[in-house]
Structure formats: C-alpha cells, structure tokens
Amino acid sequence: MLEIRWHGRGGQGVWSASILLATAAIKTGKYAQSFPEFGPERTGAPVQAYNRIDDKPIVVHASIYEPDIVIVIDSTLLENGKGILAGIKPKGHLLVNTPESPEEIRKKLDVPEEVKVWTVDATTIALEEMGRAITNTPMLGALLKAVSVVPLDAIKTVVRERWPGEVGEKNIRAIERALKEVKTG
C-alpha cells in the first residue's frame, strides 16, 4: 500500500489534489482513500491531506503516521523543519514546491540519505500556465515523475471532469510541465 501525506495551507487545494489522485487511482482499478485533517481554521492555516492507494481493499481508516511520500505544497511550512518529515519511511520520497534544488532542501532539513528529495517550482509553473498561484495540480505532475502511482492519462481525465474547458486544459499544461521540470537529488 502506498501512503501519502500532503502539507499545505487552507485554500491551496491540498485536499482537492488528494481527491484528484484518489479518483484517478480508482479509475485505473485501484482502491484509494483521500481524507483531510484540519480544524476550524481559515484560509492560510496549515492543513494536511492523505492518500492511501493499493491494489486490494484498504481496511485501515486512520491518519497516516509513516508515509511513503510527503508532499509540501507551501514551502513556508518547511520552517517547521523536521516536523514535516515526521515518520517518513526509509526509502521514502519528499516532494517540495520550491525553486531550491533537492540538495539545498536535503541540507536545510537534514533529510536522511535514504529518502529521495524532489523539488519543483510549482508556483512559477502555476502562475505562468494558469495565471494563479494554485500549485496543487502541478504538484500532481511532479508526483507522477517521482512515483508512477497512476498513469498521466488518468490524471488528465479526472482534471477534465472536474474543470471542463480551458480551466482544465490550463491545469493539464501545468501538470505536464511540472512532470518535466521536477528535479531529484
């Protein structure tokens, strides 16, 4: 089973990205969960969302404390340092929206060598492709490069269903660009 923990702020589409990923997984015949963790916070407050994806039914229904993948949509949350990395599995993946290199993030957070670090400037991609700094869909593209969890075509299908027309196509361009521009180190 693949377990993912997303970190972002209210209004950045963290839970929406989690839902899109789960929906794409289900469309490809997998079992999936998507759920948020937040209180009565307002826009801008830290939030988390989670995914579980597997080839067989998922019987666990709890928060994810030992994720295979940690995705950080808002790099200001890195000020929390090691808290972001809490519980990440050995040989896990850390994916961060930042213009910094994977090596800079590894050093800044003292990421263990066995954890693979990925970075992508999803904010710039979102602004240039969609005209808004909503980085959730570009981060999905970067995730697909890091881990082949679902096919790109499945993500494109759910994006077009969610946002028909030009909005969906802009999101797809952002996803494809992030998939190409994400770096690892």
In angstroms, the CA 99 to CA 139 distance is 13
Phi, psi angles (nearest 5°) of residue 75: -65, -15
Q: How far apart are CA 150 and CA 143, in angstroms?
A: 10
pLDDT at 158: 98
Q: What pLDDT score was predicted for residue 4? A: 98
Q: Are 15 and 49 in contact (CB under 8 A)?
A: yes
Could you say which residues of the chain have pLDDT below 70?
A: 39-42, 81-82
pLDDT value for 40? 65
Distance CA 21, CA 94 (A): 17
In tens, the pLDDT along 5-53 reads 999 998 888 999 999 999 999 999 999 999 998 766 667 788 899 999 9
Question: What's the pLDDT score for residue 153?
Answer: 98
The confidence score (pLDDT) of residue 149 equals 93
Q: Rounded distance, CA 97 to CA 124, Å?
A: 10
- Full-model pTM: 0.94
Q: Where are the domains of the chain?
A: 2-184
Per DSSP bridges, beta strands 46-54 and 93-97 are: unpaired
The CATH code belonging to domain 2-184 is 3.40.920.10
Q: How far apart are CA 145 and CA 182, in angstroms?
A: 7
